[in-house]
A and B are shown apart, each in its own frame.
Chain A
């Protein structure tokens, strides 16, 4: 596609419910990243995929958070038993090569998650 696509753009859920956030990276991009942005804050790294593998999951805040990637393309971030502190914008990014090689990240517009 033309850019990184995320869905839904907005998600309102009740505390304790599970949510799934989807990311469609730019076609052909092998590296995929999830970040979280709380109100008025910078971005917080969550997880990195290279292909379908996740070599770095160090940013996932708790075991309620998980992510998978299938077919080297679409990724889903799942938050179980959501808490109010999970409210944030969840941003996905992709790149054609690992960031450490100097490649640019292309970000989607994010999913605004609100936990009531």
Chain B
């Protein structure tokens, strides 16, 4: 069935190191992918997105990579900081006319000082 899933439920990274969070999706019709960050007691916050016609997109300290061949998405966070500790979700959307986001179950990232 359709799903968006994460390989690892938890990840601990030393402050200053880079982190990589992975996500697999199964639906070839997925057109738009988003990474969200959710801190305790708050709603998800947009980090970065990528469309299916791209394989890489960079933001401030974050990079999203999309491999459509193996239906894999990753979020790279450079030079991690304590404020990066949160749960990270990937989500997919099927593009114009479809308003539903399908979320993965999330990865908890902990930055070790």
Binding site for B on A (CB under 8 A): 4, 31, 33, 35, 40-45, 48, 50, 55-56, 58-59, 91, 93, 98-102, 104-110
**What are some 28 contacts across the A-B interface (CB < 8 A)?**
A4-B43, A33-B101, A35-B103, A40-B105, A42-B4, A42-B91, A42-B103, A42-B106, A50-B99, A55-B99, A56-B99, A56-B100, A58-B100, A91-B43, A93-B43, A98-B96, A98-B99, A99-B93, A100-B32, A102-B32, A102-B51, A104-B49, A105-B46, A107-B43, A107-B44, A108-B43, A109-B41, A110-B43
Binding site for A on B (CB under 8 A): 4, 32, 41-46, 49, 51, 89, 91, 93-106
A109-B93 in contact (CB<8A): no
A43-B89 in contact (CB<8A): yes
Residues of A within 8 A of B100 (CB): 45, 48, 56, 58-59
User: Which 5 residue pairs across A and B have the least CB separation, nearest first?
Assistant: A107-B43, A42-B103, A100-B96, A48-B99, A43-B103
Residues of B within 8 A of A59 (CB): 100
Residues of B within 8 A of A56 (CB): 99-100
